Amino acid sequence: MKIVKIYEDSCVYCHLCEVACIVEHSQSKDIIKAFKRETKPIARCSAEFNYPLSYSVMCRHCDDAPCIEACQTGAMHRDERGYVVVNEDKCVGCWMCIMACPYGVIKKDERREVWGLSTKCDLCPDRETPACVEACPNNALMFEEV
Amino acid sequence: MKIVIIGNSVACINAIEAIREKDKISQIIAVSDEQSRAYSHPLLPNLVIGDISRSDERFYYRSRNFYEKNKVKTVLGKKVVGISSQNRYIKLENDEKISYDRLIITAGGKPFIPKMDGVELEGVHTLTNIKSADKLKKDLINIKKCVVVGGGLIGSKIAEKLAKHGVKVTLVELMKRVLFPVLDDTGAEYIHKELKSLGVKLILGDSVVKLDGNKRVKKAVLSSGKSIDTDAVIVSVGVKPNLEFINESGIEINRGIIVNDYMQTNIDTIYAAGDVTEAYDIVTSQKRPIPILPLAARQGRIAGLNIEGENVKYGGGFPTNSITIGKISFISMGIVDTDKLEILKIKKDGEYRKFIIDDNKLVGMILVGNIEKAGMFNWMIQNRFDVSWLKDTFLNSDFGWQYFSKAFRILRFDRKIK
């Protein structure tokens, strides 16, 4: 199965992966509208830094995903491609997936009115190559088999 | 093969999914005394006050067509009253018998009701299944004041929800703090503050010994002698494994059904999973019931796989909890309060972090406020990871992969180490 492979030696901490992720998951998929007009989505990848190290990390799409096991409503599930994704209409923001995720890559979105929303990498279902991989200027993220 | 499952919740559903991954042919029958398809138990307090309704898909654990899709026959609204392990059948309350080749018991828990006079009065509630939630919801119209007995996960949550709904709530907890087994004093203090700011009156270190009233409960009397006028009482002091129907089956029980690493009971053809079991706790090194959802899911899956001859081991679990009360979210796991082990903790603006370490292995932790990356600690506890070189960074709010050694980080990112 292909996932986003992380090559930390090539990362220059430019955050373009996060920008591309935000745009891809925005309503309009337009960079100006996504950042200035619409409710800005949370980036599913995180560029992290501890000099001289930097890397961008996102869901590893585990075979035996503990987040699916911990989900109380079945919102966290495996889609037809085999990737782990959140059904937004089912998620109640109990954060049990955050409690379970061994990679620490699920984020809280608390902006919905009643229910919180767990937010994570969905490997861009509308694209052939994930947005972060395409945006990375230095091949620090590659869409490859693991 | 004919597989019968007693119960129809998280452990049952995960067992079904595991069986169907391997085997499309065997007959599966799920028997439950509840009428509903599998639902989310943690949402019961939300159901009571109307955040969510029974027509909302969110409330359910799996979609309506789950049983059909997985070719599962359901026998709902029927209580199991006995098991004959010799003749391999279960008996229902209407004397109907259902035979099996393999049996999985996922009967869950039932509320523990402490000894007190007057529990049979009208207006006394529990909150562990849909039936009790419906009863409480229907009664809500009569409730202006309410006493919640027990400040555990259910008690604290329903106290919060009722207070937000405008009910005058008094929460009585026997221990010196709410959420006793899952938080320490400092952590619980955040929750106390939230509950108080919502108008919940907290009475700690005291217990309800008697309920007074004619037909309906009117007063709760505490062991300290205090008495509280009330319209209703919610008893939420805990759950215990539901073992009623086990009696003469020959299945070995202690506090729960005793299972081995394969989720198998002492009888070869009978497996058990979820809140009804007593499985191995890796942080306390003993078998005990740990009634939490992720472990029910894991155990159910393992029971299902092993029935299909997969030989998968459980490897032990430990308690993990995540709740939000008011504006405060916390996650805790394993051992949370001890003075015998190495403790690292820090409390700063709106955030509390605590780690309990035994011989350089993480055995428990609490995160309040900032719960990010909690699962990384879950992984360390589960895998008995040596944290000697890493533990100094646990207290950093930005704890993450940047503090691991490069070689280890790359292996983990590439999924070379599970």
Contact call for residues B73 and B100 (beta carbons, < 8 A): no
- pLDDT level of residue A100 (50, 70, 90 thresholds): very high
| Residue B159 shares a structural domain with residue B184 | yes
Report how many domains make up chain B: 3
Q: What percent of chain B has pLDDT over 90?
A: 98
Nearest to A98 among B59, B62, B331 (CB): B331
| B9 inside domain | yes
| B116 inside domain | no
Burial class (CB in 10 A: 0-12, 13-18, 19+), B332: buried
Per-residue model confidence (pLDDT) at position B247: 83
- Does residue B248 surpass a pLDDT of 90? no
Cβ-based neighbour number of residue A1 at 10 Å: 11
Q: Model-level pTM?
A: 0.96
Q: From the centroid of its chain, how far is CA A109? A: 12
| Residue B292 shares a structural domain with residue B384 | no
- For position B199, which CATH number holds? 3.50.50.60
Instruction: Using a CB–CB cutoff of 8 Å, tell me whether B412 touches chain A.
Output: yes
The rounded distance, in Å, linking the Cα atoms of B209 and B118 is 9
Q: What is the pLDDT of residues A25-39, one digit of tens each?
A: 999 999 999 999 999
| B16 inside domain | yes
| Residue B65 shares a structural domain with residue B86 | yes
| B319 inside domain | no
| B98 inside domain | yes
- What is the DSSP pairing of strand B342-348 with strand B328-334? unpaired
- Full set of structural domains in chain A with CATH: 1-58+126-146 (no CATH), 62-120 (3.30.70.20)
Q: What is the pLDDT of residues A83-92, one digit of tens each?
A: 999 999 999 9
- Do the chains contact at A73 and B376, CB–CB below 8 Å? no
Chain B residue with Cα closest to A104: B373
| Residue B180 shares a structural domain with residue B222 | yes
Q: What is the pLDDT of residues B343-374, one digit of tens each?
A: 999 999 889 999 999 999 999 999 999 999 99
Closest CA to B29 of B107, B99, B129: B99
B85, amino acid identity = S
| Residue B289 shares a structural domain with residue B359 | no
| Residue B363 shares a structural domain with residue B342 | yes
Closest Cα in chain B, distance from residue A64 (Å): 9
The rounded distance, in Å, linking the Cα atoms of B418 and B62 is 28
| Residue B131 shares a structural domain with residue B207 | yes
| Residue B157 shares a structural domain with residue B78 | no
Instruction: Using a CB–CB cutoff of 8 Å, tell me whether A42 touches chain B.
Output: no
Q: What percent of chain B has pLDDT over 70?
A: 100
Q: Is the ipTM of this complex over 0.85?
A: yes
Cα radius of gyration rounded to whole Å, chain A? 15
| B321 inside domain | no
Closest Cα in chain B, distance from residue A117 (Å): 13
Task: Write down the residue that tokens 């015998």 correspond to.
Answer: B340
B19, amino acid identity = I
- Do the chains contact at B371 and A74, CB–CB below 8 Å? no
B137, amino acid identity = K
| Residue B189 shares a structural domain with residue B261 | no
Hey, is B194 helix, strand or coil?
Answer: helix
| B314 inside domain | no
| Residue B254 shares a structural domain with residue B216 | no
| B316 inside domain | no
Chain B contacts in chain A segment 55-94 (CB below 8 A): 55, 57, 60, 62, 64, 66-67, 69-70, 72-74, 89-90, 92-94
| Residue B294 shares a structural domain with residue B154 | no
| Residue B35 shares a structural domain with residue B139 | no
Length of chain A: 146
The rounded distance, in Å, linking the Cα atoms of B18 and B300 is 8
Range of the domain at B11: 2-40+61-110+241-307
DSSP letter for A25, please. Answer: T
Which of these three, B210, B237, B264, is where a domain ends?
A: B237
B185, amino acid identity = D
Chain A residue with Cα closest to B9: A72
Q: What is the pLDDT of residues B171-226, one digit of tens each?
A: 999 999 999 999 999 999 999 999 999 999 999 999 999 999 999 999 999 999 99
